[in-house]
Structure 1
């Protein structure tokens, strides 16, 4: 194995990569500023490591398990693993896109038939029926929650030449999907009731991406996952209906510099998977598929989170518009309190991966605070 004689940014960055640590996690373990780790990754061997930090790295390396050291030394011997001179690849990449489009329809949800589903983390009772979207997989469904929320879950496989292309598709297709979802739910309700004229269209949207295949490794893979959660940095959205990609140069610069968004929360597990959650998206990539979370677990959490977001939005929107929310007491403030408790409390059988994923999604969605506000409103209205 190659011994480290002198630490530079290249060796320091590769040691973090061998641990599969994010910039923040690596910096925290070393006790250094995250900007220092970012500089190592960006400038590689052109960056010197001060003696005090070199000693920290020596101790950190000495405590590494054998399998991590093996990866680290293999990367050193490869020579090019930390090379920042060559232009990073932009693709191609294969992803499975999961879109969530919720809409509050109140009591009318009981009029649409569906097959009962297993409860998610919040244990919300619901049924499901095929979504019948023209450009989605047959596994796509319309979930019908007893609390009055209907939520479309659209599964779409995509192979793209760059993440910018995926971001453009996401924004453009969401406009079409929202229009389609509005028409679809109105059609279903028109078959059983005439009281859907005042129905508000679906509004809040979020994507969850499973990255299946790509050319990226190490820091570039982490950057790609961050970009999947924050697609807005890859496109010009001044005119949403004509969203355009910013171009190869912008995307390559983001890869070269090591993009990291301050609002994105990681739920990575060392050598098992990379996961990131942001306001507009969740990205997941298994490194060890047999030990990683299933995408079904992420989808189950997002379905419950988006349902409760939609329900609380209905309550708060009614108050803002000067009306009292109209809903059964069984789905009032006590219902929201119970759902929030179930979402935030760890369970004995819950794995560390599940807990990290749940905490990341709840933190970035800001759902807990929203549910508490909705609880107060409903309690004040004796609902």
Structure 2
């Protein structure tokens, strides 16, 4: 019996071709409208709804052996793979579009106040943190923004668009730019501080360069489906398996065929968590998040993931500052309005489901928070502040 992992308009039309049925005949046999079949012809990449996929599965199971074999060969001829997803391709490399979102946080403390005062007001994120924005000028990013939080943290957000032929190509770019982007982000924040400083405060010591970088990737225009799509998302989340990092200053791809082998074997990272809904899929890991939305369904938007990551990175930088003081033997001290009660409120807002929250959004939020270990870090920083400032 042939099994189709993911029915699209294109594969549904191939079934009609194998059954040698007209549009009206095919619609009648499936019990759907002819208009739906016409829409498949106009949008062949559209993924069918679960109930429609069930109808197509049933129709395929009732086909004659000859019709099933013809469908199998038609599908293999178009997609280069069998209906069950078993590959016969010599290479898994496939062009795709990836939108990269980098987050580079830094704790500024009192210095952040002048940037916050100069920023443009923006809507608070899921953590409920007050924040404003300032424009940055990254030399190659599609957009570059500095989010300044009232609690003394700045998060530099870089959005970059790439059309690549292989995921290895993207992995090499990622590591090479990670060697330079933190320093650029630090210099950017310093320039903004100098720009908005009072004349007698121009000699403040330089802001340290952000050290921790996390990315979120939106995968678009990809031809992978089923298990191969899962592999692609895992490779986006943990690209270290595609490159040689022995010389950090000159990261290079692994030998030829490394990426193909991961796809062939169905590689997944054991410490990642999957999320999504319907046919939209996402993977969250320690160093990144990857998401492939399907526009044909009511999926999560990438902006929702970015909003969560911005607040998560800001709270990570804030809690890291508190825990660093403890590790250095200092009593952690924060302004009262950003003390342990502030962290407790942020923790509750991030970890508690809202009445209007969809199931997809809840699963995404839980996956990102669990892999980042932010909740544990917030509790530790909260306890440290409460013990030092009862």
Deviation of residue 290 (structure 1)?
Answer: 4.7
Determine the C-alpha separation between the residues in 2 that align with 1:323 and 1:265. 36
Would you say the 8 A contact 1:234–1:250 is kept in 2?
A: yes
Query: Do 1:164 and 1:247's aligned partners in 2 also have CA atoms closer than 8 Å?
Result: no
Structure 2 residue corresponding to 1:118, chosen from 123, 128, 135: 123
Pairs within 5 Å for 1:46-195: 65-70=51-56, 73=60, 77=72, 78-79=75-76, 80-81=82-83, 82-112=85-115, 113-138=118-143, 140-191=144-195, 192=197, 193-194=201-202
Q: Which runs of 5+ in 2 are unaligned?
A: 9-49, 62-67, 77-81
Q: CA contact under 8 A between 2:234 and 2:283: conserved in structure 1?
A: yes
Cα pair distance change 1:362/1:19, threshold 3 Å: farther
Counterpart residue number, 1:256 = 264
2:274: which partner in 1?
A: 266
Matched, 1:201 2:173: no
Judging changes above 3 Å, is the alpha-carbon distance between structure 1 residues 314 and 195 closer, same or farther for their aligned structure 2 residues? farther
SS in 2 for 1:127: strand
Q: Secondary structure at the match of 1:356?
A: helix
The superposition leaves residues 24-70 of structure 1 with CA deviations (integer Å, 9 ceiling, x where unpaired) of xxxxxxxxxxxxxxxxxxxxxxxxxxxxxxxxxxxxxxxx8452352
What secondary structure, in the 3-state scheme, does the structure 1 residue paired with 2:101 have?
A: strand
1:124 aligned counterpart, secondary structure? coil
- Give the alignment's Cα RMSD to 1 decimal: 2.1
CA deviation after TM superposition for structure 1 residue 194, in Å: 3.8
Q: Residue 326 of structure 1: CA displacement?
A: 3.6
Runs of 5+ in structure 1 lacking a partner? 5-10, 21-63
Which consecutive aligned stretches of 4+ in structure 1 deviate over 3 angstroms post-superposition?
71-77, 193-196
C-alpha distance 240-211 of structure 1, shift in aligned 2 (>3 A): same
Q: CA deviation at 1:195?
A: 5.9
Alpha carbons of structure 1 residues 186 and 326: separation in structure 2 relative to 1, 3 Å: farther
> Is 2:229 the counterpart of 1:221?
yes
**Counterpart Cα distance in 2 of 1:279 and 1:124:** 23
Corresponding residue SS for 2:356: coil
CA contact under 8 A between 2:190 and 2:206: conserved in structure 1? no
Max radius of gyration: which structure?
Answer: 2
**TM-score normalised by structure 1 residue count:** 0.80
Indicate yes or no: 2:308 matched with 1:301: yes
Q: d(CA) in 2 for partners of 1:266 and 1:335?
A: 30
SS where residue 346 of structure 2 aligns?
helix
- Give yes or no for contact 1:19–1:68 (8 Å, CA) kept in 2: no
Who is 1:60 aligned against?
none
CA distance in 1, matches of 2:247, 2:332: 34
Distance 1:152 1:212 in 2: 24
Cα distance in 2 for residues equivalent to 1:68 and 1:117: 44
Q: What is aligned with 1:342?
A: 349
Structure 1 Cα separation of the partners of residues 7 and 151 of structure 2: 44
Q: Is the 8 A contact 1:275 1:282 kept in 2?
A: yes
2:358 maps to which of 322, 344, 351: 351
Measured in 1, the distance between the counterparts of 2:158 and 2:6 equals: 35
Question: When the two structures are aligned, how many residues end up with a matched partner?
Answer: 326
Q: 1:232 aligns with which of 235, 240, 252?
A: 240
Distance 1:165 1:196, change over 3 A: farther
Deviations 1:129-186 (A, max 9, x none): 1121111113x21000001100001000011121111011011111211110111111
**Structure 1 residues 174 and 147: CA distance shift in structure 2, 3 A:** same
